[in-house]
Structure 1
Amino acid sequence: MEFPCLPLCRDEDAELWTYSKRREMQEIIPRLFLGPYSSASKNKLPELQKLGITHVICIRQSLEAKFIQPNFPQFLTYLVLDIADNPVENITDFFPKSKEFIDGGLQAGGKVLVHGNAGLSRSAAIVVAYIMETFRMSFKDAFMHVKGRRFCICPNDGFIHQLRLYEAIYLAKSTVQISPLEQGRSLSFLSGNSGNLKRKHGEEEEEEDFCNFKKISRI
């Protein structure tokens, strides 16, 4: 399966970001969207169809099942994941299934939305993991790319730890599975793009952003 080149985050994206955008979905890479449940709630079918959304990953835990639901199974293809926004939740187990679902939707020519409740932690971690593995990127670069499109993301500390560990897992797996030629392309891609994906702020400011967005996500 072939993917478009990973789009670079632009400075003007930061300038246009407003707090209200956390209630909307954003396109992270072509045809892959990340957002809150409000972007896929019962009255949003016209908007979803207008955008061309065909596949949805709906993330919730059992306690949320009464108000976070796959609302349009007759029109859209759903994958429902039972994940708690809890640092001890093993979200890594859901990465392969999510990637297979997203790849299938994109390969079929569709568009995929990944949402949880607020679109900040669980769904963001799923999308970051997908970017990491699909484009063979480090956690840091993948996180900064997703954050560059949806500034309010804030995976909990446990998810961040698991994403960092997953970087070594998927890289070891891909090293065995891909050919030497593909390995060379991967290394070339990373060396050529990792610098562009870093924001102007330093690493210390990135850690400060984590804390700030955690405060926002509790509002």
Structure 2
Amino acid sequence: MSLLDQLTTFSKTSLRRTETHVRTVDGREYVESRDDQGRSNLTPVGAKDYGWIGDVKPDLQVAKIRPGLFLGSQDVTVRPELLRSNNITHVLNVAAGVETETFPDAFTYKHVPILDLPETNITEYFQDCFAFIKAGATSGGVFVHCNAGVSRAVSIVVGYLMTTESLAFEDAYGQIKQIRPSARPNDGFMKQLKEYKPSQ
């Protein structure tokens, strides 16, 4: 039988029934199947409380960028043993709407709320953040974080290395990316950092 004959005589009813597990962008899960008439049926599976696909595993990486300079997510800030084991004395929070001054008697905190939006001028926060980083790095260690430790905190640390070590953007970002592979400033921050010319 030729391929053309096979295609013209093929019947969908000869296909084996299967079920497909579907997860929507908002985190809901379904099992999709077909009935005897070939109509699609979606059956909800479980319940998601998030409204999105939740990542509930904490990110506890304390990325050592330089002696005394560390980078990561807000998850680390509720683990004083992680901070202490790295001799961290200062915590710089650059997330908007996130308060992480959990242990005020044990650590020195600074909160510089920055929105993670491409149109936010990240360089206008450099001077304030860099002064705190320098103070923290010389008196023990400083941990720089935002929510996920991916965009805002990374941008601040990239700018700091560019300023204090006269590194080109590619070098500063490349070094951080090797230590913290999830590092990825938003497109607006990337553009600003590439154009940033530190005044020494």
When normalised by structure 2's length, the TM-score is: 0.68
Give the counterpart letter for 1:98 in structure 2.
C
| 2:196 is the alignment partner of 1:159 | no
Deviations 1:91-135 (A, max 9, x none): 111111111111111222x11100100000000000111111111
Q: Residue 117 of structure 1 aligns with which residue?
A: 147
Cα separation, 1, equivalents of 2:83 and 2:138: 19
Counterpart Cα distance in 1 of 2:115 and 2:108: 22
Deviations, residues 127-184 of structure 1 (Å, cap 9, x unaligned): 1111111110111111001111111101000101111121x2x1xx22xxxxxxxxxx
Runs (4+) of structure 1 exceeding 2 A deviation are: 20-23
Per the alignment, residue 57 of structure 1 pairs with: 92
- Once residues 71 and 22 of structure 1 are traced to their aligned partners in structure 2, the CA distance between those partners, rounded to angstroms, is 17
* CA deviations over 1:55-111 (Å, ceiling 9, x no partner): 0101221xx33xx42211111111101101110111111111111111111222x11
Q: How does 1:1-219 map to 2 (within 5 A)?
A: 23-41=60-78, 44-61=79-96, 64-65=97-98, 68-108=99-139, 110-166=140-196, 168=197, 170=198, 173-174=199-200
Measure, in 2, the Cα distance between the counterparts of 1:22 and 1:82: 21
Quick one: distance in 2 between partners of 1:60 and 1:21?
17
Question: For residues 115 and 176 of structure 2, what CA distance do their matches in structure 1 show?
Answer: 21
Structure-1 separation of matches of 2:129 and 2:194: 18
Give percent identity, aligned residues only: 37
Amino acid at match of 1:113: F
Q: 1: distance between equivalents of 2:92 and 2:76?
A: 12
Give the structure with the higher percent helix: 1
Q: Name the Cα RMSD after superposition.
A: 1.6
With over 3 angstroms needed to count, the CA separation of the structure-2 counterparts of 1:21 and 1:27, relative to structure 1, is farther
Q: Is the 8 A contact 1:92 1:162 kept in 2?
A: yes
Aligned amino acid, residue 106 of structure 1: A
How many residues are treated as equivalent by the alignment? 144
| Unaligned runs of at least 5 residues, structure 1 | 1-19, 175-219
Cα distance per residue 1:19-77 (max 9 Å; x no partner): x8954221011111100000112xx112212221100101221xx33xx4221111111
1:190 maps to what in 2? Answer: none
Letter of the structure 2 residue corresponding to residue 38 of structure 1: D
- TM-score, normalised by the number of residues in structure 1: 0.62
| Structure 2 CA distance for aligned equivalents of residues 60 and 91 of structure 1 | 12
Structure 2, gaps ≥5 residues long: 1-56
| Contact residue 26 and residue 150 of structure 1 kept, 8 A | yes
What amino acid maps onto 1:58 in structure 2? Answer: N
CA contact 1:55–1:78 (8 Å) conserved in 2: yes
Higher relative contact order, structure no. (Cα contacts within 8 Å, ≥ 6 residues apart): 1
Larger % of strand: which?
2
